[in-house]
Structure 1
């Protein structure tokens, strides 16, 4: 199966961070990685491969290297499982003019306009009681179009194409159905849950999101573009997973995919939380100096999508730093360190991308924002500061970041997979 097809299948089956973690877990288990429980003591063996999840929405897989950590350090690939979206409010039911609607809360910096007139479904995690009163949790995916947010006809808003603001509180309540007198989303959700978990008798709470049911696709006369939802940042999670499945067992490497990057990472599941640091503590046997020596020899690739230069808005880019789709992965720079890249870490990535015996060169691009604009944030600087590891920010160039449907280059997906595989395969990355 081609990398693009595998990615499309993964993306379409992962409408929420919970589903992404479940699918990553299934993938790594099938490839011989052992699942670990954070609530137990671990007995880790050199040359063996493991994975675990936290909160069902953050994921980590790692290889315990056969060489000492103080010699090799740790290779870390960091990404995030969450994407901007519309979440369903706790008391979401609204009945207006005979329509049963659900109120939404905007998660992250979402582009709102593309959510109108889409065939929306619902997915997420539900906590419930079974018939014996036990508290349980399960993933839910309606898997079909059950809602929409219709646009207002231009006849009723003649200035709609002149920069109309969107109010998510009043203008983005999703329509579910013509409202019966006793319309309750809790009843609808319980009925859906019981299709796969018949023991459920009451829904206590949920974390649910709307998502677009349109599947991923390749477009363009030569199928050179890949379009789909949540490319930011499930593309990096998937490509990091592809690399880890081919990791060199001589050295220790980690793939960590945190939740909550889109809202600042400052949570127990986010990059500013303790998940990665605690994993490194479990890996390092010895005193504090052993940990410090290990981290001094370590490197993190913070992999998060980059802004490809939009041909209709080319002036939004520095004219010397406008990444093109299908022209290679992007190394991201920021003078104020909103990206973690430094000259030394960028040089290491350029070295990895060079042609060598038995491998072709991987083209690289550079990105920095215009001097009169601020860039976004990533997990790179956060992780670097939290655990004291050198880092570099890079990603594949995309159009429409934070839209309900984003675009990347097919070739860039393949090139990034190759670059990440080299990172966890070479025996020495010291500088």
Structure 2
């Protein structure tokens, strides 16, 4: 591991530690882009885009799209979009709209299961909450505010083995509605405020839905009064920070690798490539990163990959960039035909204790470089054309890449690649860094693979237009 790789991995740790929710992840990306002279746009406003310039916008503060317009980008000629897609969400527990629970002398927090998590890993962890709140300001404005309680306030305790002697022989089984419930406090009446009025009826607003002490803690973090909190969306998160570990400091142990790793690498590559002297001035493409919310639950939402946000963005770029002088009706379609989407999501590294779960010729290893994911049934969108582009770029820059195909007797996961490819009719490839313990509260990947992914995505942004010119494939 080089010092540069170690430093990049440390920057990733800082990013993921600061991103306990999709809202925080988008805000971290936003700060990085603003510091790198990207101009923030608003979807509600008209756009006027200039060549050799950098832009971004957010939707719902949980999805972010950033792009650069090359100095020689002319829609409808031989210019295209070089896109990297990732997602900001991860499987987690989320606070229910009415969360106050009380049973057996404990005050607990009602939660929902978001996505397909390995829920048994959430037991006996020091948990907290993070997300966004809508707060009513003094002037009546409704404001988006981030909140992150940076200390353990919640825990889902396991049942002692003395009361469940069969747990090791029969497996750890539990009901996600009744037994995956985090405790918040003991219900000692003299120490807790009542959440109901003297008439026994629930109070209005959030005060009638959540425990008063929990709301008080949120209000202190938000620096507002409880009665100005209109609503909130909160994720539960582990308070243990990410870390570099292993005998040779080669592993990253972290929550939310799926998919903040790809989000970070895409952002890093876009910023680095756009900051290189003269890189944008001579570029014929528009370089784009699309960081979507809601991938873990199917992407079908206003800010998910299966929404109109991607097509809407591409059409607005074509229509509003100054270099589009002829405004031909087919300019958008021609530009899409010259484009490629790299769908970047994490991949399954071969497991030392379950190696038979992988097809014998497709066993990606940690530190082996980004994984090209293929599936004949189009659960991944990779084909020979898109695969050739990435393999050729990797070969040119001496970046290792690996291959993954799921076993025929195993179900194959999917990601945003086939969704966006189907919506846009765009060439697409699915790739991702290898990791272990996917969808656990703590996941594992390799330090060197962070560097490999950033190098590959950066090279894609810089080399794809020339590569596309060499492709004699319609």
Same structural fold, with TM-score higher than 0.5 when normalized by the shorter chain: yes
Instruction: Give 1:94's match in structure 2, choosing from 101, 110, 134.
Output: 101
Q: Distance in 2 between matches of 1:234 and 1:40?
A: 29
Q: Distance in 1 between matches of 2:421 and 2:226?
A: 43
Q: Check 1:140–1:98 CA distance in 2 against 1; reply closer, same or farther (3 A cut).
A: same
2:90 is aligned with 1:79: no
Q: Distance in 2 between matches of 1:387 and 1:307?
A: 27
Instruction: Give 2:158's match in structure 1, choosing from 151, 168, 173.
Output: 151
Task: Give the drift of 1:206.
Answer: 1.5
Q: Distance in 2 between matches of 1:173 and 1:200?
A: 24
2:265 is aligned with 1:239: yes
Q: Distance in 1 between matches of 2:43 and 2:36?
A: 21
SS in 1 for 2:107: strand
2:29 is aligned with 1:50: no
SS in 1 for 2:341: strand
Q: Distance in 2 between matches of 1:373 and 1:149?
A: 31
Cα deviation, 1:100-133, whole Å, max 9, x if unaligned, reads 1001110000001110110101011112333454
Q: Distance in 2 between matches of 1:45 and 1:412?
A: 35
Which structure has the greater CA radius of gyration?
A: 2
Q: Distance in 2 between matches of 1:370 and 1:35?
A: 44
Instruction: Give 2:438's match in structure 1, choosing from 401, 409, 413.
Output: 401
Q: Distance in 1 between matches of 2:65 and 2:225?
A: 31
The question of whether the paired residues in 2 share the 8 Å contact of 1:190 and 1:202 is answered with no
SS in 1 for 2:311: helix
Cα deviation, 1:371-393, whole Å, max 9, x if unaligned, reads 11121111000001111211000
TM-score (norm 2): 0.87
The question of whether the paired residues in 2 share the 8 Å contact of 1:329 and 1:416 is answered with yes
Q: Distance in 2 between matches of 1:302 and 1:97?
A: 48
Q: Check 1:72–1:214 CA distance in 2 against 1; reply closer, same or farther (3 A cut).
A: same
Partner residue in 1 for 2:467: 429
Q: Distance in 1 between matches of 2:55 and 2:180?
A: 42
Task: Give the drift of 1:276.
Answer: 1.1
Q: Distance in 1 between matches of 2:31 and 2:375?
A: 37
The question of whether the paired residues in 2 share the 8 Å contact of 1:118 and 1:149 is answered with yes
SS in 1 for 2:98: strand
2:245 is aligned with 1:213: no
2:274 is aligned with 1:272: no
Q: CA RMSD in A?
A: 1.5
Aligned length: 427
Gaps in structure 1 of 5+ consecutive residues: none
TM-score (norm 1): 0.96
* Higher alpha-carbon deviation: 182-191 or 360-369: 182-191
Task: Give the drift of 1:164.
Answer: 3.0
Cα deviation, 1:281-300, whole Å, max 9, x if unaligned, reads 11113243100100000000
Q: Distance in 1 between matches of 2:215 and 2:467?
A: 50
2:26 is aligned with 1:21: yes
Instruction: Give 2:288's match in structure 1, choosing from 242, 254, 263.
Output: 254
Gaps in structure 2 of 5+ consecutive residues: 196-209, 320-326
The question of whether the paired residues in 2 share the 8 Å contact of 1:34 and 1:51 is answered with yes
SS in 2 for 1:201: helix
